[in-house]
Structure 1
Amino acid sequence: MAIYLEMPRLDKEFPFRILVNDGNILTTPHWHRELELIYVTKGTITLGINDQPYTLSEGGIVFINSGDIHYVLASPGSERLVYQFDFSFFSSVSTEEADISHSFPDIFPLSIHWSEEDQKKVREILENVYLENRERHPGYQYVIKSAIFQLAVLFIRKLPKRENRKVQEINGIKNNEILEKLDQVFRYVENRYQQHISLQDAASEVGYSPFYFTRFFKKNTGKTFITFLNDYRIDKAKWLLINSDKNVSQIISEVGFESDKTFYRLFKNSLMLSPLEYRKKMSIN
């Protein structure tokens, strides 16, 4: 399976979300800038982090650092809560001593390495955050942010650390550089997808030759740049089909496809439906 970069859609004003995944949901190898915690609430799951496989049972927690490559295999009968948040959550604390990006890479990721007391504290915090996020009473965002800060303090002060710091720092620097370049490409596509974009255009945007950019993009996203661009445009078209009354020809032009034939072929390959069949199906649902 290809390794790809995931870009969680987090609110810029409140960069946090919780997903509830049942055991039938398989997540293929991927990585992202955001921090992630997985809390198993039912059954047992099998996952991997940086080529190391693990098994985690009910009540177990795993911490996934920014840039870690990870996956979760299908685990029927299980359920897990997935918490994702961005480093910007901690932007109000900018001192070197409080920089959690220096502390998180060293933590043993699985809760089986933590003390019973610390496991219990983390579970209580995660369960409280889940309830606050679900019920959303006035001020819930303050409660969640406070809880995330509590987790950060607990991680920094209490959880056991690994000693292979030097290798992790090198990998962290490398991943940050890759993320910055990919973010630059994604922003470029987001701002220009309605216009003509060539491979040369994208490569020039990040200062790479087309040959190097082709290899770089495929290695770090699992797909070619043109495939990514077409997928992005198809996603925009899907949204317009559901949320507007525009006809298909208008939508094709608006999302940047220069060929109707190419759009119809890619749309059908992606969804096994024509655009109008998709619109009809989604309106019924």
Structure 2
Amino acid sequence: MAIYLEMPELDKEFPFRILVNDGDILTTPHWHREVELIYVIKGTISLGIDDVPYKLSEGEIAFIGGGLIHYVLASPGSERLVYQFDLNYFTAGNKENLDLQKLFSELLPVSPQWGESDETAIRTLLEAMNYEMKTQQIGYQFALKAGLFELIQRLLRDIPKQVKQLKKINKLATQDVLEKLDEIFNFVEEHYQEALTLQDIAEVAGYSSFYFTKFFKKNTGKTFLTFLNDYRIDKAKWLLINSDLPVSEIIAQTGFESNKTFYRLFKGSMAMAPLEYRNTMKIE
């Protein structure tokens, strides 16, 4: 199976989310810069992290550092909570200048390797955070942020580190690659409304157009044009749901140069026209 880049849609102010996935959801091999924890709340799941297979049962947890290739096989009858967060959120408060990406890459990835007390502590914290997210009582955002900081502290202090292996694990996304992709993604975020060419983005990355094309496809699983169009379609979807702007204005604001291209890509992505999507998704 092809490996692809996933870009979770996280709030810029607080880049954290919790998803509920059932056993019918198959997650093919992918990676993302965000850290992820998977907490099995029902049944068992089979997953792989950097080509190493694991099987987790109810109450067990997997920790996946940013940039690691992972997948989850369909496990009928199971259910799991997926926690994702961006380490950039902790940059301002990181007065110790800890390399969180590196430190987290050294942790043992599944809770049966941690010891019962550490597994219980992390499980209890994850359950508390999920409760806050579900109930959203007054102050829940503060509770979630406090929980996330405690989670970071416990992971750093309590979770055992991997013994260095003689055989070096081949990681798709090294720190250098993640930083380069961050640079590219940030540029797209700031300039997606403009007419962007392959040459423009290659210059930002410091590569020739030929090398950039190979680099981007290898590390994201898609061409830059496909990525850019997907990004613009996501922005258009947000505007369709959260504004009353006419479709023509949304097309202009999201960088599409022709109405025909926008309608073709939108229908190909969502299997419906933009106004139909707005009517289906918009909350009265």
| Alignment TM-score, normalising by the size of structure 2 | 0.87
Task: Tell me the equivalent position of 1:126.
Answer: 126
For residues 54 and 44 of structure 2, what CA distance do their matches in structure 1 show? 11
1:74 aligns with 2:74: yes
Task: Tell me the equivalent position of 2:96.
Answer: 95
1:258-269 alignment runs, 5 A limit: 258-269=257-268
Task: Tell me the equivalent position of 2:234.
Answer: 235
Contact kept? 2:34, 2:86, Cα under 8 Å: yes
The total of aligned residue pairs comes to: 283
Task: Tell me the equivalent position of 1:203.
Answer: 202
Task: Tell me the equivalent position of 1:222.
Answer: 221
Task: Tell me the equivalent position of 2:164.
Answer: 164
For residues 269 and 146 of structure 1, what CA distance do their matches in structure 2 show? 41
1:21 CA displacement: 1.6
Report the 3-state secondary structure (helix = DSSP H, G, I; strand = E; otherwise coil) of the residue aligned with 1:187: helix
1:55 aligns with 2:55: yes
Structure 1 134/197 Cα, relative in aligned 2: closer, same or farther at 3 Å?
same
Task: Tell me the equivalent position of 2:26.
Answer: 26
Structure 1 10/272 Cα, relative in aligned 2: closer, same or farther at 3 Å?
closer
1:178 CA displacement: 1.3
RMSD: 2.8
**CA offsets per residue over residues 101-122 of structure 1, 9 Å max, x none?**
4432222111111212222222
* Structure 1: tracts of 5 or more residues without a match: none
**Which deviates the most, 99-108 or 18-27?**
99-108
Report the 3-state secondary structure (helix = DSSP H, G, I; strand = E; otherwise coil) of the residue aligned with 1:133: helix
User: Once the two structures are aligned, what percentage of the paired residues are identical?
Assistant: 59
For residues 250 and 164 of structure 1, what CA distance do their matches in structure 2 show? 55
Report the 3-state secondary structure (helix = DSSP H, G, I; strand = E; otherwise coil) of the residue aligned with 2:174: helix
Report the 3-state secondary structure (helix = DSSP H, G, I; strand = E; otherwise coil) of the residue aligned with 1:238: helix
Contact kept? 1:103, 1:156, Cα under 8 Å: yes
Task: Tell me the equivalent position of 1:246.
Answer: 245
For residues 228 and 17 of structure 1, what CA distance do their matches in structure 2 show? 22
Contact kept? 1:100, 1:152, Cα under 8 Å: no
1:152 CA displacement: 3.7
For residues 12 and 242 of structure 1, what CA distance do their matches in structure 2 show? 18
1:278 CA displacement: 2.7
Amino acid at match of 1:94: K
Contact kept? 1:105, 1:168, Cα under 8 Å: no
Amino acid at match of 2:184: V
Task: Tell me the equivalent position of 2:155.
Answer: 155
1:166 CA displacement: 8.7
Contact kept? 2:68, 2:171, Cα under 8 Å: no
1:8-23 alignment runs, 5 A limit: 8-23=8-23
1:140 CA displacement: 3.6
| Alignment TM-score, normalising by the size of structure 1 | 0.86
For residues 170 and 279 of structure 2, what CA distance do their matches in structure 1 show? 51
Structure 1 103/279 Cα, relative in aligned 2: closer, same or farther at 3 Å?
closer
Amino acid at match of 2:23: G
